[in-house]
Amino acid sequence: MRYLIVVFLAFLMSGCASKLAHDEGEKVLDYGMTNSKKVEIKHSEKSRTFVIITYLNPLNHPLVTNESEKFIVGTYLATGEGNTAASTTLSHFSVNGKEEGVRVTPLDKNDPLLKLVSSSNAWTEYLLVQAPYSETINMQLSFESDHSQRVSVVFQKDF
């Protein structure tokens, strides 16, 4: 009986210690999470906009090519107690301090690029921001909103 308990405990511990199999999609979502930053823009005590920015270039995925720098910017307006407010407009995007060559494209809710963003959901509005490819290690994305001053976020490339 004692041997049966020892074998059972050994079996239980080896099962808990084994690694779970990860598929390629989970790895991409993990990398997408590590290359994301969140910014909060406060409008009032009960209303704010959450901006989640994901730098796509470090991801190893067929949808991400290195001919340009790519960011997905998601905005979500959070209001308290049923208050409704106008959505936040983001504008004047620049990458590494340059607005030249920066293209901003709204993304459809079913866009395949959104599968690379682990926090994508139906109530967030998404933009694809593209800029000419850069050899610099630190990538700075900045923008203005209609409720705040200029906001900057820095990402680091993996070389």
Q: 74-120 pLDDT, tens per residue?
A: 988 877 655 445 567 888 999 999 999 999 999 998 888 888 887 77
Residue 36 in domain: yes
Instruction: Compute φ and ψ for 122, nearest 5 degrees.
Output: -75, -20
Count of structural domains, the chain = 1
DSSP code for 8: H
pTM: 0.73
Contact 91, 129 (CB under 8 A): no
- Report if residue 118 sits inside a domain: yes
Has residue 74 been placed in a domain? yes
Q: Is residue 101 part of a domain?
A: yes
CB atoms within 10 A of CB 131: 22
Q: Is 6 among the domain residues? A: no
Q: Is residue 76, in this structure, part of any structural domain at all?
A: yes
C-alpha distances out from residue 28 to 5, 47, 66, 106, Å: 41, 32, 16, 22
Q: Which residue has the higher pLDDT, 42 or 135?
A: 135
Which residue range(s) make up the domain with 43?
A: 24-156
Residue at 57 is within a domain: yes
Helix (H, G, I), strand (E, B) or coil at 78: strand
pLDDT of residue 104: 94
At 141, which CATH number? 2.60.40
